[in-house]
Amino acid sequence: MRLIAFTLLFITFGCSTIAQSLDSVAIKNFGTGDYKAASANYSVVMDEMGVLYFANENGILKYDGSEWELIPIVNFGGVYSINISDDGKFYVGGINEYGYLERDSSDGFTYHSLRSSLTKQHEFGAFWQIETVGQDVYFASYEGIVKYDGEGSKHIDINNSGIFVLNNEVIASKFNEYLYKVKGDTTELLNNQFKWKEDNVYSALKSLTDESYVFATSENGLFKYFPQKNEMVQFESSDDEYLKKYGIYDAHIFRDSLYAFSSWSGGLIIMDKYGKILSKIDKSQGMQSNALHDFVVDKRGHVWAGRPTGISYIQWSTDFVQVGYVPKTYITKVRSKYDLDDNLRSLEFHFATPGYDKSDLQYSYYLDGYDQGFGDWVSDVKKEYTNLDGGEYAFKVKAKLPDGSSTQMQVHSFKIPIPWYKTKLFIFLAVLAISALIFVIFRFRTKRLKLLNKRLERIINNRTQELIQQREQLRQANDELIITNTELDNFVYRSSHDLVAPLKSLKGLINLARAEEPNERQSEYLKMMNSSVAKLEDFIKSIMEYSINSKREVVKNDVLLDGIIEGICQDLKYYDNADRVTFYRNYDKDLTIKSDESRLKIVLSNLITNCIKYHNYDQDAPKIEVNVDLNYPKGISTIEIVDNGMGIDKEHLDKIFNMFFRASSDKAEGSGLGLYIVKDTVTKIGGQIDVDSEIGKGTVFKVTLYDSLEVVHEKA
């Protein structure tokens, strides 16, 4: 008694555990956006590699776990059934169309129609089922059955029937009637007791408990058929009413010990061999629809089911691997963008591991003869190589499974012919021909160059004589020009000196005349005479300075800057209005800089004289500043002459250093040479002069002298 109770408890607990494990599923739904075809999928089969083929309303839909591919039939018609014969050939049924798929040279498929092999044409509508027995293939529609024997097709006149194979015989279950054996080209009644009202047998399975077969109907549940006795009984099931309510569409043995049914509106149903439903997989667990068509159990014990609105992949938490099944990676396609006879080749390899979705895998690959070795694990399912040279190659790929193990390496070897123009013989002959051509050209060019050299030598000799004559003429002209310039400089210098003495005497006489208290009219004349004499004196001074600056070499020495400034101040002590200007010296009195002393004095004297001459004496506190900025790291000194005089208009600033330019001012009475000489002199001593001015506020002349200080580097 205890043993019986324990056994019942074990069976109850075991069934409960199995049911719980079957309910633990992950569902992935595929739609038109994934596979780019029609939504409705009907029949489904799996080949030896684990690649799936779905009967889709746009054709045959192929999925290898990595990529979807649509294989069209005649006129891109819909496909409603597909099956694989024992020899691995795919047979396809559409609307008034049936045929088979044949692999082509690129590992793809080509559809071949068998419709024309039927001697007498008939309208069949859609072929919903295909069964194979040996070499014979049976295509079933509601309008009849077509038998194809490998050579021709024949029409078997039985309509509204579903077909299945029983002991290597095709059985036709006619809707609302009986079971028939298909014998040759006709049918034979199996038993007149087997009849289902408004129903027929959709699928037949080998029983898991005895020698019978389990028949699945749409609305009448399950039945057991004993072929030895030719008898049929109702399959006793506690859940029979559930099956009748939702209707069976397709049936398969599941994981060796269970039944699996797809239903019209109840999803996927898992039942034990005694008729108890262990699991119902429907929208509550993630299915997009409870309506399922045909399904297939893959090599890992998971289910792929076609739906009116897509495809569902039902994956349990644990695999149920078929005996002898070892996951393999396949190179599914090799595409060439160029003819392999061309110089430039581009190959694209596609690979997959059927039985696994690509999102669960990673791949590593390399091209022997091109890559150094296997690369990192990546999720790519294709690899392209471009511009491959001629030679032998082997593409190698392997996959990493979810458990971390790897599949066996798959190898695709191929050879790209070496173009004739890259062969060693051609290269040798080409080098030989090029060498001979170079030698001939070299000899020809050498001979021609000798002739040209002789001609060139004559031309050079003639030109040399001409150049010697021209050079001698230029030398004579230059000597004459030097003599002329020297004489002109001497004339200018002596004339200037000769003119200065009378001007100074005249200026002294004017001052004596002023001292004798002349009348107002005489004072005005004396003032005008003094102004004219001063202007002429400035002009002569400018000419002398320009003459000195142009002909004397630059000699730089250490110059005491304050000594130059003091000398200029003494020279200008009695200059008109000099006593009205306050003079500021903002620098170290002992400061010495390296420059040409006489030229530096010309520059500073002109600038300071201009500040006095063109100052604004109507304002309070007229002033002139001399500021010095020293940059010892760069050896640069900057001298600024700043006044608060009348200023210069901005429009004249870019022209004031031009020869004879005078700003349009009532007080602009100079010769127009002063600032021109200043700029020329600053340039001579290796410096730069800039000016900034504003009307009514004053002017700043900035003289920058380069290499005027001993460079002192700052300590880090």
In a domain, 71, yes or no: no
Burial readout 265-277 (b: 16 or more C-beta within 10 A, e: otherwise)? ebbbbbbbeebeb
Contact (Cβ atoms closer than 8 angstroms) between residue 711 and residue 632: yes
Geometric angle at alpha carbon 242, from 291 and 46, rounded to 5°: 45
- SS3 readout for 165-224: EECCEEEEEECCCCEEEEECCEEEEEECCCCCCCCCEEEEEECCCCCCEEEEECCCCEEE
Question: Does the pLDDT value for residue 159 go beyond 70?
Answer: yes
The per-residue pLDDT for 658 is 86
Average pLDDT over residues 522-535: 69
Instruction: State the chain's mean pLDDT as an integer.
Output: 85
The verdict on residue 201 lying in a domain is no
Tokens of 647: 């200023």
Of 245-259, 284-298, 311-325, where does mean pLDDT reach its minimum?
Answer: 311-325
In a domain, 292, yes or no: no
Kindly state whether residue 44 falls inside one of the protein's structural domains: no
pLDDT value, residue 280: 94
Q: In what order do the strands lie in the sheet with 41-46?
A: 41-46, 52-56, 59-63, 68-71
Rounded to an integer, the average pLDDT of 340-359 is 78
- Phi first, then psi, for residue 90 (nearest 5°) are -95, 125
pLDDT score for 542: 62
What are the tokens at 308? 């009116």
pLDDT band for position 533 (cuts 50, 70, 90): low
Q: For residue 613, is pLDDT > 70? A: yes
Beta-carbon count within 10 A of 144 CB:
19
- Domain final residue pick, 391, 421, 451: 421
Per-residue pLDDT, 660: 75
> Whole-angstrom Cα distance, residue 65 to residue 53?
11
Count other Cβ atoms within 10 Å, centred on residue 577.
Answer: 11
Mean pLDDT of 42-70: 94
The answer, yes or no, to whether residue 666 has pLDDT greater than 50, is no
Average pLDDT rounded to a whole number, residues 208-229: 92
The whole-number pLDDT of residue 711 equals 66
Per the structure block, which two tokens stand in for 223? Answer: 């039945």
* Structural domain contains residue 310: no
Residue 385 domain-assigned (yes or no): yes
Tell whether the model's pLDDT for residue 297 goes beyond 80: yes
- Report the Cα–Cα distance between both ends of the chain, in Å, rounded: 103
pLDDT at 279 over 90: yes
pLDDT digit string (tens) for 361-391? 999 999 998 899 999 999 999 999 988 888 8
Residue showing tokens 């800089």: 593
457-513: pLDDT as tens digits: 889 988 888 888 888 888 888 877 777 666 666 666 666 656 666 766 676 767 777
Cβ(694)–Cβ(647) below 8 Å: yes
Task: Quote the pLDDT of residue 341.
Answer: 52
621 CB-near residues (< 8 Å, 6+ apart) = 582, 644
| Least confidently predicted of 210-214, 626-630, 710-714 | 710-714
Please compute the mean of the pLDDT values over residues 150-164 and round it to a whole number.
91
Specify the pLDDT at position 356.
Answer: 87
**Burial per residue of 35-66, b for 16 or more beta-carbon CB atoms within 10 angstroms, e otherwise:** bebbebbbbbbbeeebbbbbbbbbbbbbbbbb
Examine the pLDDT at 695 and tell me if it is beyond 80.
yes
Per-residue model confidence (pLDDT) at position 351:
92
Q: What is the pLDDT of residue 262?
A: 96
> What pLDDT does residue 213 have?
94
pLDDT at position 19: 52
Task: Supply the CATH number for residue 382's domain.
Answer: 2.60.40.10
State mean pLDDT over 669-687.
Answer: 81
pLDDT of residue 496: 60
Residues 182, 206: Cα–Cα separation, whole Å: 20
Residue finishing a domain among 421, 443, 458: 421
Domain boundary among 421, 439, 458: 421
Instruction: With a cut of 50, say whether residue 206 has pLDDT above it.
Output: yes
Q: What are phi and psi of 314, to 5 degrees?
A: -105, 115
Domain residues for the domain of 411 are: 330-421
Q: State the DSSP code for 407.
A: P
Whether residue 194 lies inside any domain: the answer is: no
- pLDDT tens sequence across 117-146: 887 778 899 999 999 999 999 999 999 999
Check pLDDT > 60 for residue 3: no
> Could you give the percent of the chain with pLDDT greater than 70?
85
Q: What is the pTM of this model?
A: 0.59
Structural domain total, the chain: 2
> How far apart, in whole angstroms, are the C-alpha atoms of residue 543 and residue 570?
22
Identify the pLDDT of residue 504: 64
CA triple 317-278-284, angle to 5 deg: 65
**CATH number of the domain enclosing 696:** 3.30.565.10
3-class secondary-structure state, position 31: coil
**Range among 209-218, 540-549, 659-668 rated most confident:** 209-218
Residue 390: the pLDDT is 81
In 491-612, at which residue ranges do the beta strands (DSSP E only) sit?
557-560, 582-586, 592-595
pLDDT digit string, tens, across residues 433-461: 999 999 999 989 898 888 888 888 889 98
Question: For residue 493, how many C-alpha atoms fall within 13 Å in the half-sphere facing its CB?
Answer: 14
Q: Is residue 437 part of a domain?
A: no
Is the pLDDT at 584 greater than 90? The verdict is yes
Task: Inform me whether the pLDDT recorded for 706 exceeds 80.
Answer: yes
CA distance 40 to 36: 12
Dihedral of alpha carbons 327, 331, 333, 337, sign: positive
